[in-house]
Amino acid sequence: MGGIDRFDQMMSYYSSRHKSVRWYKKLGIHIFHMMMVNAYFLYKRFAMESPLNLKQFTHSVIEALIGEECIPETSQLPSPGPTQRRHYLRHTGETIRKDKTRHCSANNKYTKTTMVCKGCEGNPGFCLNV
């Protein structure tokens, strides 16, 4: 499939079809891919030196569009492990009014819970009514 003409053949080399992407994103990716193939045909026609292949051309165009200053640096900070977590939910035997929780006290909700956070000051209750 994709060998009807030269354009379809070039489009089929690097497929842009993904099942997990929404339709409007698929459409945008497909249009961008079509623009890259059309630009590649023009590049090959008017190139003075030996032309790049389609993949190299696409990478060079994307790098030119993004620029070096937009490439994010990777963080060297380690991710917090399970021992560095701030919140620990604990199941208590008695029921506690949820007016002790931060979110529910702001909304004046009065329900009861059996879960509290050991890591927070004052051991507030756990609220599922967010």
pLDDT at 40 over 90: yes
Phi, psi at 129, each rounded to 5°? -90, 55
Return the closest-CA partner of residue 80 out of 116, 128, 117, 119: 119
Whether 10 and 59 map to the same domain: the answer is yes
Whether 102 and 56 map to the same domain: the answer is no
pLDDT digits (tens, 9 = 90+) for 47-95: 888 889 989 998 999 888 887 666 566 666 666 555 555 666 666 666 6
Q: Fill in the amino acid letter for 87.
A: H
Whether 90 and 65 map to the same domain: the answer is no
pLDDT digits (tens, 9 = 90+) for 15-25: 777 788 888 99
In terms of residue numbers, what domain contains 60?
Answer: 6-70
- CB-CB contact of 110 with 103 (8 Å): no
Whether 95 and 50 map to the same domain: the answer is no
Q: How many other C-beta atoms lie within 10 A of the C-beta of residue 33?
A: 17
Token look-up 């007016």 returns: 99
Is residue 99 included in any domain, yes or no?
Answer: yes
pTM above 0.75, yes or no: no
